[in-house]
Amino acid sequence: MNGQPAVSASAPGKMIILGEHSVVYGKPAVALAINRRFYCRVSRSGEMILNGRRVPAFVHPHISSVINDNGLSGISMDAGTQIPTSSGLGSSAALSSSLSLAVRKLLGRDTDQESIAKDAFNAEWNAQGRASPIDTSTCTHGGGVALNCPVGIGRELWRISKNDRSWNVSEFDVPEMTFVVGHTGIKAPTGPLVEKVRKYRDSNTFAAEIVDEIANITLEGMERMKQDDRVGLGSLMTKNHKLLSILGVSCPQLNKLVECSLPYSYGAKLTGSGGGGCMIALTDHPDKVARAITLHGGTPYIVNTGVPGVQVDVKKTK
């Protein structure tokens, strides 16, 4: 880098099991961190340097939000990722969370998870125009994270509010479950999809009822997960996919990958904002699901869950 002291950090991607889009309106959601990570290494700089090249400060809204929140106008940042971008797997949340930790450590500021999750949520909000903290809190904390879950499901971590919305963020013990992610290969940025749902919900009571119904099945799914009832959880995931399709955020490729996974799965659904990106299937037959996804034009990843959240990567920090 530039000879300055440097800090390396990484954060995992995530997959939403139930509740995307509805969670933007203060409703519940549940997500798991996955074993694909975003890595960054930062050192002080008067200007914005990304992977060795000088770039305008505003070039990446998540980066500028995190560094501005920490009182900087520039940083030298090397970045690498195992998380496909604009795919519903939390690549921008993992970027924001790992960058926040690295910058805070470099500046000697607090590095508790709550401060990092709040920096990362601000970045997501500024970039998307509207957001919930499900992605950023999951990428920060790791493991399993539930928003606005009932008492008895999780242990409260922190609370995040924005305008008239607020979310209680909790962690929960992740049961043994196998998921396959299927990537359509279609990039679909989150902001426009969140805006599409907002317009539909604001102008149509049927859409508002669908958002409420997603909240109901998300609460039921949390109970099923706690009881290790995969059959029940899977059927709620498939129902959630149908409701998201009615909201207009699925697409033919996502529907195809969901359909072809169902014969070998407890349930399947799109994950994240939709419009392309990825779907997930809960299964005891990951190889069969992966083969079906490949045969139908997708790229499968058999993912591990229960992975750690944001962390300083000590070996790479000097």
Q: Assess 23 for contact with ligand MEV (CB under 6 A).
A: yes
CA 89 to chain centre: 5
- Tokens representing 123 are 């970045």
Positions in 68-107 near ligand MEV (CB under 6 A): 88
Binding mask 101-140 for ligand MEV (x = CB under 6 A): ------------------------------xx-xx-----
* Beta carbon of residue 20, minimum distance to ligand MEV (angstroms, whole number): 4
Residue with Cβ nearer ligand MEV (90 or 234): 90
Residue with Cβ nearer ligand MEV (64 or 91): 91
* Beta carbon of residue 194, minimum distance to ligand MEV (angstroms, whole number): 5
* Beta carbon of residue 127, minimum distance to ligand MEV (angstroms, whole number): 10
Residue with tokens 């795919």: 87
Q: Assess 272 for contact with ligand MEV (CB under 6 A).
A: yes
| Region from 5-13, 15-23, 61-69, 103-111 binding ligand MEV, contact rule CB under 6 A | 15-23
In whole angstroms, how far apart are CA 22 and each of 25, 77, 261, 289, 304? 6, 34, 24, 27, 26
Separation of alpha carbons 133 and 122, rounded Å: 9
Q: Which helix (H) or strand (E) holds 65?
A: helix 61-69
* Beta carbon of residue 273, minimum distance to ligand MEV (angstroms, whole number): 4
* Beta carbon of residue 60, minimum distance to ligand MEV (angstroms, whole number): 18
* Beta carbon of residue 173, minimum distance to ligand MEV (angstroms, whole number): 23
Cβ–Cβ under 8 Å, residues 171 and 105: no
Closest CA to 33 of 16, 9, 10, 8: 16
Q: Assess 224 for contact with ligand MEV (CB under 6 A).
A: no
Q: Assess 244 for contact with ligand MEV (CB under 6 A).
A: no
Residue with Cβ nearer ligand MEV (119 or 135): 135
Cβ–Cβ under 8 Å, residues 310 and 139: yes
In whole angstroms, how far apart are CA 246 and each of 207, 218, 275? 8, 17, 12
Closest CA to 224 of 263, 259, 266, 258: 266
Closest CA to 116 of 6, 4, 1, 10: 10
Residue with tokens 């998201």: 244
Q: Assess 21 for contact with ligand MEV (CB under 6 A).
A: yes
How many residues of this chain bind ligand MEV (CB under 6 A)?
Answer: 14
Residue with Cβ nearer ligand MEV (6 or 309): 309
Q: Assess 194 for contact with ligand MEV (CB under 6 A).
A: yes
List, in sequence order, every beta strand (DSSP E) within 140-248. 144-147, 155-162, 165-172, 179-183
Residue with Cβ nearer ligand MEV (139 or 292): 139
Residue with Cβ nearer ligand MEV (37 or 41): 37
Residue type, 236: L
Among positions 9, 20, 157, 265, the unique one binding ligand MEV when judged by CB under 6 A: 20
Helices and strands per DSSP (H, E), number in the chain: 9, 13
* Beta carbon of residue 134, minimum distance to ligand MEV (angstroms, whole number): 5
Cβ–Cβ under 8 Å, residues 298 and 277: no
Under the rule (CB under 6 A), what is the footprint of ligand MEV? 16, 20-21, 23-24, 88, 131-132, 134-135, 190, 194, 272-273
